[in-house]
Chain A
Amino acid sequence: MSTEARAVHFPAADWDGGVHPYRVGHRKLGMWLFIVSDSLTFTALLIGYSYLRASNVWPTPFPFYPSIVFSSIMTFCLLSSSLTMVFGVSASSKGDKAGARKWILATMFFGAAFVVLHLIEWSHLYHEGLRPFSLPAHWVSTFTTTDGQLPSPLFGATFYTITGLHMFHVTTGIIYLGVIAARVRKSSHEDIEISGLYWHFVDLVWMFVFPLIYIMSVDVGGHLAK
């Protein structure tokens, strides 16, 4: 059998070179690798936060309103933005670029709502007196233990760093989607799918930030209100 005939009847195996073993383009693979590395960045921050929390007296200051109400609506916005994004990618796969643009714009709207609500939430805490390396005076008096152990002043540092880095990702995601929406006719389906991967990753990170930072810091007994 000639070499040409062998090539026809016995195509190269996935790992023999000359083919895409993952069956994805190099840009999509690049985005996956970026997502893996960014996952480790957020994991390191959340592990650092958990380390500090486990080794210190940690305040649990978040009231139902505004903190939990705002963060819950923010979670709803991000989850809904992921749904509209996947609708956009689905429309793009059918060649419906106008539909894809419409859903991407809806995604940007939910993302912008998330950022605005988050900034309002930050403003509440800042005006209450929370700074990166110090707590409001009434938090210190409320959460000091009966044996005199003071709450960690690093609450603000971990809160502003982790939620701030996440908010930065959301903001860059909105800009990224804006560029894709503006160039949707020139963009390939893969371009739109890759932007969707980034956006869903931002949503995924919040699925860990929300319970660890917000839910675990709920002022259940209403100690600050007393």
Chain B
Amino acid sequence: MSAHAEEHFAGSNKLFTSIWFWLVLLTLIEIFLAYKPMSIHLMLTILLGLSIIKAALIVAYFMHLKFERLSLILTIVPMLVVCICLMFVVFPDSFRSLGLRYQFKETPAVAPVPEEEH
């Protein structure tokens, strides 16, 4: 193996295994939370919080962004976060339209019951 064959790749397998352990643990917490009675808003907040932490761990360590230059991080991350936040502008309308929803009087579209269930 020549000296040139080696490339710099920060992070040890031990570090990556510990990140994997945390990701599995956070997933188990999510599954546990699914069966805890709580308001949907609280559950959504906790689940999204955990997902953002998991995503950050994956991007930082597995995708190695933590070890890249700051210029690359600043080019990619802030504009993505801003674009995603801009999409939340639709939600006031979704809450409004829940109250305006058409009250069905007729039977809605229903799939035929599979034969094996008869």
The yes or no answer to A186 lying at the interface (CB within 8 A) is no
- B45-81 interface code vs A (CB 8 A; 1 in, 0 out): 0011011001100110111100011011001100110
Nearest Cβ in chain B — how far from A133, in angstroms? 6
* B27 and A56 form a contact (CB under 8 A): no
Set B51, B71, B83, B116: member contacting A14, Cβ < 8 A: B71
CB nearest to B1 among chain A residues:
A95
- Check if A220 sits within 8 Å of B37, measured CB to CB: yes
B9 touches A90 (CB 8 A): yes
- Contact between A32 and B76 (Cβ–Cβ < 8 Å)? yes
Q: With the chains together, A137 CA to B114 CA distance in Å?
A: 10
Which residue, of A40, A55, A135, A189, has the highest number of chain B Cβ atoms within 10 A?
A: A55
Residues from chain B with Cβ under 8 Å of A52 in the complex:
94
Given the known interface contacts A36-B76, A90-B13, A220-B37, the answer about A200 and B58 at a Cβ–Cβ threshold of 8 Å is: yes
Q: How many A-B residue pairs have CB under 8 A?
A: 179
Q: Is B108's CB under 8 angstroms from A140's CB?
A: yes
Contact with A along B19-36 (1 / 0, CB 8 A): 010011001001101110
- B90–A204 touching, CB < 8 Å: no
- B17 within 8 Å of A (CB atoms): yes
- Does B42 make an interface contact (CB < 8 A)? no
Q: With A80-B20, A134-B109 given, is the CB distance from A215 to B69 under 8 Å? A: no
Minimum CB distance partner of B62 in chain A = A200
Shortest beta-carbon distance, A18 to chain B, in Å? 16
A218 to B36, CA, bound (A): 11
When each residue 123-138 of chain A gets 1 if its CB lies under 8 Å from chain B and 0 otherwise, what string results? 0000111110111110
Number of interface residues of B (CB under 8 A): 68
Q: Residues on B close to A: CB < 8 A?
A: 1-2, 5-9, 11-13, 16-17, 20, 23-24, 27, 30-31, 33-35, 37, 40, 43-44, 47-48, 50-51, 54-55, 58-59, 61-64, 68-69, 71-72, 75-76, 79-80, 83-84, 87-88, 90-91, 93-98, 101, 103-104, 108-114, 116
- Jot down 23 A-B pairs with beta carbons below 8 A, ordered by A: A36-B80, A43-B87, A51-B93, A54-B98, A55-B97, A55-B98, A68-B31, A68-B34, A79-B23, A80-B20, A83-B62, A90-B13, A93-B7, A127-B114, A128-B114, A129-B113, A135-B110, A137-B111, A196-B63, A201-B63, A204-B55, A211-B51, A212-B47
Q: Which residues of A contact B (CB under 8 A)?
A: 14, 21-24, 29, 32-33, 36, 39-40, 43-44, 47, 50-52, 54-56, 68, 72, 75-76, 79-80, 82-83, 85-87, 89-90, 92-95, 127-131, 133-137, 140, 148-150, 153, 189-190, 193, 196-197, 200-201, 203-204, 207-208, 210-212, 215-216, 218, 220
